[in-house]
Amino acid sequence: MKKNNILIVDDDSVFRDDLSEQLEKMYRVSNADSTKTFQQIFEPYAFALVVLDMRLEKERDGLEILSEIMEIDPFQLVIIVTKYVDTETHISAIESGAQLYLNKDEFSLPFIAQMIDVILHQGHLRRKVATLEKRLDTVDSINMVGQSPELRMIQEKVRQAATDGEVTVLIHGESGTGKELVAQNIHRLSPLRREEPFVAVSVAGLHKETMHSALFGHEKGSFTGATSRRKGYIEEANGGTLFLDEIGDLNMEAQVKLLRVLETRTFQRLGGNREISADFQLVTATNQNLKELIEQKAFRQDLYYRLQAFEIKVSPLRERKKDIVMLAEYFLKKMVEDGRTSATVIHRKVFEILSQYSWPGNIRELKNVIEFSAIRAKTSNENAITLEHLPTTLMRVENSNYIPAINGDIDMDYKTWLARSELVLCDRIVKESGLKQKTELARVLKYNDRYIFSRRIKRALEDCKMNISEFEHLEKIF
């Protein structure tokens, strides 16, 4: 296991050596005996914890070092250990960011070493929480980007559901449309729920045999392998919001239990007999037709009526063309802020292609396209995303309006013209994407029967080629 680095900054050589000896069994220890030595040794994020004397060359210069450390890294763990204790300095040190202030004469070295262990453990948790909060703030912004009437309607319904804080919400939408983002916004805009947990669960990701335990929890010994009591997702969401994605995959047993929770606002853990209060707002989402599942006896009608108390339909991106430009610019802006690309703008021609595309993967696919294109632009050290940076799946949109030149042969029939059009498209894709196999090309073009596709391209190459070098890239893989 990797050892943590500890830095001791103290001009008392006896204390410094004794503490180093105490800590070296578990940590890697570095020492500094002055402000100058500290500045030579200390590097941002290099040390898990700093043990700092309050007085080195002059009185209270430890506070100056502490201030310097906190300016570089506000999460750096620092313990003040000093002989010169006074209330004013103690308060200043804690306010400046120190975790602990100890008197050398009052506390033994083993105790100081023990406190270092405790502070390190707390510090790891503190960093973890801060990292998760930062990730949520960055990735899951409460802003839903766009200006289409469809999005404005969604935003209004989100505000209504959030203001109520109790109503059960059912979100409909295709995969990739941002259903979880809608659920997150309901939670974050809720005066009643936003300070409490937001628990997101993909029902499709739960094992059918343990679905009940995952949702409702279990008592120790309730089944083989249940070595301790465990809270379920419903209990973890107490006071906040429970988001059940892909609700159509909930098995019948769990559906019965969930219906009871919604009716009584209580539940029992698996293997338990105590009623536990359930205070949460339930938000569910699905890309399936629940009415069809009801007809197939795969979903309970009474549960469906409970879930549909407040419905929000998230339109697919192809029906929200006005949002495409703003979303694309938003995703590129985030990449620029993260230093992941040199491209700061998107060419007008690219927007034309983006607007023509059907976006079967919706917003998730658009985000992937912008990231892919921005990275390619960075590789070329260019400051704009252009057509050449787009993936081949979108280049087919550009080529759909392409009419190959007939080179003066007015007798070319329609079938030959059509075959040549396909060859032009295929050759360009092979050239730009570097495909090595015809099966890869068939997959890119979404041809299911690759054998027939291969035969047709070979026949077209024999019948339609007008010179030796034409379609040379395509011929290499056929």
172: left (phi over 0), alpha (psi -120 to 50) or beta: beta
Q: Where are the alpha helices (DSSP H) in 165-316?
A: 179-188, 211-216, 233-236, 252-264, 290-295, 301-307
Kindly tell me if the per-residue pLDDT of 126 is higher than 80.
no
What DSSP assignment string belongs to 229-248?
A: -B--HHHHTTTSEEEEESGG
Q: Terminus-to-terminus CA distance in the chain, angstroms?
A: 53
pLDDT digits (tens, 9 = 90+) for 346-357: 998 899 899 888
- Long-range contacts of 57-65, Cβ-Cβ distance < 8 Å, separation of 24 or more: 57/11, 59/84, 60/89, 61/35, 62/9, 62/93, 63/89, 63/92, 63/93, 63/96, 64/35, 65/9, 65/35, 65/38
Percent of the chain whose pLDDT exceeds 90? 37
Residue 424 confidence class, pLDDT cut points 50, 70, 90: confident
Residue 469 confidence class, pLDDT cut points 50, 70, 90: low
How far is Cα 54 from Cα 49, in angstroms, rounded to an integer? 16
Kindly tell me if the per-residue pLDDT of 59 is higher than 70.
no
Kindly tell me if the per-residue pLDDT of 435 is higher than 70.
yes
Q: For residues 203 and 74, which has the higher predicted lDDT (pLDDT)?
A: 203
pLDDT value at residue 9 = 93
Kindly tell me if the per-residue pLDDT of 272 is higher than 80.
yes
pLDDT value at residue 138 = 37
Percent of the chain whose pLDDT exceeds 70? 88
Residue 396 confidence class, pLDDT cut points 50, 70, 90: low
Kindly tell me if the per-residue pLDDT of 45 is higher than 70.
no
In this prediction, residues 16-45 reach a mean pLDDT of 86
Kindly tell me if the per-residue pLDDT of 131 is higher than 50.
no
In this prediction, residues 376-400 reach a mean pLDDT of 78
379: left (phi over 0), alpha (psi -120 to 50) or beta: alpha
In this prediction, residues 169-196 reach a mean pLDDT of 93
How far is Cα 392 from Cα 264, in angstroms, rounded to an integer? 54
pLDDT value at residue 411 = 43
In this prediction, residues 60-83 reach a mean pLDDT of 83
pLDDT digits (tens, 9 = 90+) for 212-223: 889 998 888 888
| Residue among 166, 175, 170 nearest 278 (CA) | 166
Helix, strand or coil, per DSSP, at residue 391? coil
Q: Are strands 266-267 and 276-277 parallel, antiparallel or unpaired?
A: antiparallel
Q: For residues 264 and 439, which has the higher predicted lDDT (pLDDT)?
A: 264
CB 243 within 8 A of CB 284: yes
How far is Cα 92 from Cα 324, in angstroms, rounded to an integer? 52
What DSSP assignment string belongs to 409-427?
A: -TT--HHHHHHHHHHHHHH
pLDDT value at residue 237 = 92
Residue 142 confidence class, pLDDT cut points 50, 70, 90: very low
pLDDT digits (tens, 9 = 90+) for 335-379: 998 888 989 999 988 998 998 888 988 999 999 899 999 998 888
Q: What average pLDDT does the chain have?
A: 84
Residue 124 confidence class, pLDDT cut points 50, 70, 90: low
pTM: 0.56
How far is Cα 394 from Cα 353, in angstroms, rounded to an integer? 7
By mean pLDDT, which of 45-54, 198-207, 456-465 is the weakest? Answer: 456-465
Residue 1 confidence class, pLDDT cut points 50, 70, 90: very low
How far is Cα 187 from Cα 165, in angstroms, rounded to an integer? 8
Q: For residues 212 and 2, which has the higher predicted lDDT (pLDDT)?
A: 212
pLDDT value at residue 224 = 77
pLDDT digits (tens, 9 = 90+) for 224-271: 777 777 888 998 898 999 999 999 999 999 999 999 999 999 999 888
Helix, strand or coil, per DSSP, at residue 98? coil
In this prediction, residues 300-307 reach a mean pLDDT of 96
CB 211 within 8 A of CB 254: yes
